[in-house]
A and B are shown apart, each in its own frame.
Chain A
Amino acid sequence: MISGQTLLKRGEVPRSFFLIKEGTFRLGSELFKPGSFMVAIEYLLEESLESDVVAETDGIVVKYDKSDITSNDEEYRSILRYLVELLSGSLMKQVEIEVIGDFERSVDVAKIAEMIDETEGEEEILSALEEMLSIQKLPDLPDTPKKAKAVVEMVSKEEDIIRYVLHRLAFVKKFPSMKESREYILDVIRTYMDEMEDRYGAMYAIKIVLLMYPNDDELVREALRRGAKISRMNKDPEWFEYLIRFLVRFPEEEVSMDEIS
Chain B
Amino acid sequence: MKSLELPSGSIVLAPDQVPDSVYVLRRGYLGIFDRLERLMTVVYKEEPFGLEAIFDLKTFMYAKALIQIEVEMYDPDEFLQSLRSSSRVDLLRILSRRIQHVKRRYHLKADERMRDLIKDFKDNGLSNNEIRSMALNFSVSDALAFERVKGEFGV
Contact A70–B37 (Cβ < 8 Å): no
Contact residues, A191-242 vs B (CB, 8 A): 200, 203, 210-211, 214-215, 220, 234, 236, 241
Is A125 an interface residue, CB under 8 A from the partner?
Answer: yes
Determine the residue in chain B with the shortest Cβ distance to A130: B42
Contact B137–A109 (Cβ < 8 Å): no
Given the interface pairs A29-B111, A76-B88, A96-B113, the reply to whether A87 lies near B98 with Cβ below 8 Å is yes
Is A102 an interface residue, CB under 8 A from the partner?
Answer: yes
Bound-state Cα–Cα, A200 to B80, Å: 37
Is A121 an interface residue, CB under 8 A from the partner?
Answer: no
- Count of A-B contacts judged by CB separation below 8 Å: 170
Residues of chain A at the chain B interface (Cβ within 8 Å) = 29, 40-41, 44-45, 47, 66, 69-71, 76-77, 79-81, 83-90, 92-93, 95-102, 104-107, 109-110, 112-113, 116-117, 125-126, 129-130, 132-133, 135, 176-177, 200, 203, 210-211, 214-215, 220, 234, 236, 241, 245
**Interface range for B:** 35 or more
Option from B61, B96, B104 in Cβ contact (under 8 Å) with A44: B96
Is B142 an interface residue, CB under 8 A from the partner?
Answer: yes
Bound-state Cα–Cα, A176 to B134, Å: 14
Contact B9–A110 (Cβ < 8 Å): yes
Tell me how far the C-beta of B126 lies from the nearest C-beta in chain A, rounded to whole angstroms.
Answer: 9
- B30-65 vs A: 1/0 string, CB under 8 Å? 010111111111101000000110110111110011
